[in-house]
């Protein structure tokens, strides 16, 4: 059983005499060679967690172990982790070579070793021709490569990137995502990304750790997390648009069991979820992609189209009926007009249920 590369144990960070709890007791481990994304909205604690792993902040309590050894209290420079800043922080007064060599020069390595290491990294990143250029002349994605290269030269145990794509133009992002994935597979480093953008997270990470208000909501493989969100927060965060979430209860209508919310009643096939839960608060999750347009008599819900947001090949349609608002993804060609009345239908087997009290997903 190999030692995990990174272990976070009950990590807590509190600011200002206990008034601000930035990180509220999170636990997770990352294996060697894995790529994990810390994903969440502003203020969720992901950047604070990153800073504690790197060593720019000290935890209030809890432990951080790299390769089995606790690094709490070890200064940042001695932890053997590399950090790529959001705005790269490349030394603009130096050439690309000097930037890449910086980490080793500081550590007093011999010149021959430095030159070889820099050339290796430059080749990996495709920067051999730019080594002599002053860093001030480079564009956004090249600066980012220099920033990444600068950390790679010191062969860190873990590479951390803070919002790596947010400063790039939309056109450069796709190319950089592909580049980062290639680097991941070629060098086999353990990598942690911090981001607020789920596309970034899904595209780059093996596993995604969704954080909210200082807590870790779910850490799961990217391919699975959209299908099987563990918690309403994750369900309402992942996906574009995110899952529709309706609060209501399981109720009986004559012989039928179903989901009720005010005047809406959706009949459900019998299952573990339904039996024995009559009257309990429950949250029904329906993916916008699962909702299809239907005629009035076939539909589960019938209401007015309030917003149509084209997306190119498709459109996101918001349908409101009373206090209920649902988003559905439909093909652009057949999209309804704003203000028209439509019905929506979905296959009940695609529904996901969450407990109305805890927010956790109920297994079906």
For 66, 227, 254, the CA distances from 311, given in Å and listed in that order, are 44, 22, 42
How far is the C-alpha of 34 from the C-alpha of 42, rounded, in Å?
Answer: 25
Q: Kindly write out the interface string for residues 95-134 of this chain, putting x where it contacts other proteins by CB under 8 A and - elsewhere.
A: ----------------------------------------
* Diameter of the chain measured on Cα atoms: 83
* Comparison of 131 and 172: residue with beta carbon closer to other proteins: 172
From the list 73, 108, 129, 170, which residue makes contact with other proteins (rule: CB under 8 A)? Answer: 170
How far is the C-alpha of 344 from the C-alpha of 244, rounded, in Å?
Answer: 13
3-state secondary structure of 274: coil
- Comparing CA positions, the residue from 130, 121, 78 lying closest to residue 101 is 121
Q: Which residues contact 62 (CB under 8 A, 6 or more apart)?
A: 8, 9, 10, 11, 12, 25
Ordered alpha helix ranges (H), the chain: 46-54, 96-106, 111-125, 140-152, 170-187, 198-204, 222-225, 232-237
Q: Is 20 in the site for other proteins (CB under 8 A)?
A: no
Q: Is 169 in the site for other proteins (CB under 8 A)?
A: yes
How far the first Cα of the chain sits from its last, in Å, is: 33
Q: Kindly write out the interface string for residues 197-216 of this chain, putting x where it contacts other proteins by CB under 8 A and - elsewhere.
A: xxx--xx-------------
Q: Is 349 in the site for other proteins (CB under 8 A)?
A: no
* Comparison of 98 and 197: residue with beta carbon closer to other proteins: 197
Looking at the chain, the number of H-run helices and the number of E-run strands are 8, 21
Q: 38 with 207: CB under 8 angstroms?
A: no
CB of 318 to other proteins, least distance (A): 8
* Comparison of 240 and 349: residue with beta carbon closer to other proteins: 240
| Residues in a beta bridge with 315 | 310, 330
* Comparison of 2 and 171: residue with beta carbon closer to other proteins: 171
* Binding segment (CB under 8 A) for other proteins, from list 4-12, 20-28, 148-156, 310-318: 310-318
* Comparison of 114 and 147: residue with beta carbon closer to other proteins: 147
Total residues found in the chain within this entry: 364
Window 235 to 264, contacts with other proteins (CB under 8 A) = 237-241
* Comparison of 83 and 117: residue with beta carbon closer to other proteins: 83
CB of 275 to other proteins, least distance (A): 29
CB of 226 to other proteins, least distance (A): 5
* Comparison of 27 and 87: residue with beta carbon closer to other proteins: 87
**Total number of residues that touch other proteins (CB under 8 A):** 38
CB of 223 to other proteins, least distance (A): 6
From the list 10, 27, 56, 87, which residue makes contact with other proteins (rule: CB under 8 A)? Answer: 87
Q: Is 171 in the site for other proteins (CB under 8 A)?
A: yes
Considering Cα of 170, then 173, then 175, then 178, what sign does the dihedral take?
negative
Q: Is 186 in the site for other proteins (CB under 8 A)?
A: no
Q: Which residues contact 335 (CB under 8 A, 6 or more apart)?
A: 308, 310, 315, 317
From the list 3, 10, 15, 41, which residue makes contact with other proteins (rule: CB under 8 A)? Answer: 41
- Comparing CA positions, the residue from 133, 148, 27 lying closest to residue 85 is 148
Q: Is 177 in the site for other proteins (CB under 8 A)?
A: yes
How far is the C-alpha of 326 from the C-alpha of 290, rounded, in Å?
Answer: 11
Q: At what angle do helices 96-106 and 140-152 cross, to 10 degrees?
A: 20
- Comparing CA positions, the residue from 192, 195, 222 lying closest to residue 34 is 192
Q: Is 357 in the site for other proteins (CB under 8 A)?
A: no
From the list 18, 276, 313, 339, which residue makes contact with other proteins (rule: CB under 8 A)? Answer: 313
CB of 250 to other proteins, least distance (A): 27
Q: What does the binding site for other proteins look like in residue numbers (CB under 8 A)?
A: 41-43, 75, 87, 169-171, 174, 177-178, 181, 196-199, 202-203, 222-223, 226-227, 237-241, 287, 289, 307, 309-313, 315-316, 332
């Amino acid at each position: 059983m190999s030692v995990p590369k990174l272990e976070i144990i009950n990590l807590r960070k509190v600011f200002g005499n206990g008034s601000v709890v930035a990180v509220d007791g999170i636990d997770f481990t990352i294996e060697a060679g894995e790529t994990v994304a810390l994903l969440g909205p502003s203020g969720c604690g992901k950047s604070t967690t990153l800073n504690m792993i790197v060593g720019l902040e000290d935890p209030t309590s809890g432990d951080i172990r790299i390769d089995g050894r606790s690094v709490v209290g070890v200064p940042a420079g001695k932890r053997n982790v590399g950090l790529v800043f959001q705005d790269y922080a490349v030394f603009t007064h130096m050439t690309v070579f000097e930037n890449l060599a910086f980490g080793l020069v500081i550590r007093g390595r011999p010149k021959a070793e430095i030159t070889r290491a820099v050339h290796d990294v430059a080749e990996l990143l495709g920067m051999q021709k730019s080594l002599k250029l002053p860093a001030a002349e480079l564009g956004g994605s090249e600066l980012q490569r220099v920033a990444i290269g600068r950390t790679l030269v010191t062969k860190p145990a873990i590479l951390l990137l803070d919002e790596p794509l947010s400063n790039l133009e939309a056109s450069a992002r796709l190319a950089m995502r592909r580049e980062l994935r290639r680097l991941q597979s070629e060098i086999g480093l353990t990598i942690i990304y911090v981001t607020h953008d789920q596309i970034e997270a899904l595209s780059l990470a093996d596993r995604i750790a969704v954080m909210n208000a200082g807590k870790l909501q779910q850490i799961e493989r990217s391919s699975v997390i959209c299908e099987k969100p563990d918690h309403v927060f994750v369900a309402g965060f992942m996906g574009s648009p995110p899952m529709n979430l309706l609060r209501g209860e399981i109720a009986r209508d004559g012989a039928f069991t179903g989901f009720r919310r005010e005047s809406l009643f959706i009949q459900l096939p019998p299952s573990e979820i339904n039996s024995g839960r009559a009257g309990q608060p429950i949250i029904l999750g329906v993916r916008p992609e699962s909702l299809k347009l239907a005629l009035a008599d076939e539909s589960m819900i019938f209401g007015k189209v309030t917003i149509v947001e084209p997306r190119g090949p498709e459109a996101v349609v918001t349908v409101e009926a009373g206090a209920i608002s649902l988003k559905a993804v439909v093909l652009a060609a057949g999209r309804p007009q704003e203000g028209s009345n439509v019905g929506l239908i979905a296959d009940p087997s695609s529904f996901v249920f969450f407990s109305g009290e805890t927010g956790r997903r109920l297994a079906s």
